[in-house]
């Protein structure tokens, strides 16, 4: 696995799971492996491993460069969710 992304920068990535996008894997969890394989930095800051329930305000403070999701419902609805509009990486 490469240590750096092309150009030397590593984007901060938040993996948003669930229909509201408010489940995220903490650093070191098996669910966060995709972020590391993408040569990113897990933006989620939690004092535990595994999935954590977060708020849009928490995600905003983590300042992710990329919001990644595998949930079709969340992907389709996030642009209409006002609580996500304050997060620059989310679609507007």
How do residues 19-55 score in pLDDT, each as one tens digit? 999 999 988 888 888 888 878 899 998 777 788 999 9
Separation CA 64–CA 24 (nearest Å) = 12
Give 89's pLDDT tier (boundaries 50, 70, 90): confident
Helical spans, DSSP H, in the chain: 33-37, 56-62, 72-77
Q: How confident is the model at residue 1 (pLDDT cuts 50, 70, 90)?
A: very low
Alpha-carbon distance of 92 to 87, in angstroms, equals 9
Fold of 10-84: Rossmann fold (3.40.50)
What b/e sequence results for 37-51 when a residue is b if at least 16 CB atoms lie within 10 Å of its CB, and e otherwise?
Answer: ebbbbbbbebeeeeb
pTM: 0.81
Domain ranges of the chain: 10-84
Taking the alpha carbons of 60, 65, 71, 77 in that order, is the dihedral positive or negative? positive
């Amino acid at each position: 696995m490469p240590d750096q992304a092309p150009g030397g920068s590593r984007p901060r990535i938040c993996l948003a799971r669930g229909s509201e996008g408010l489940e995220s894997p903490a650093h070191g969890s098996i669910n966060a492996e995709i972020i590391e394989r993408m040569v990113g930095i897990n933006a989620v800051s939690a004092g535990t491993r595994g999935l954590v329930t977060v708020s849009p305000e928490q995600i905003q403070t983590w300042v992710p460069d990329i919001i990644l999701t595998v949930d079709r419902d969340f992907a389709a609805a996030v642009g209409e969710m006002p609580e996500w509009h304050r997060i620059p990486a989310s679609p507007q």
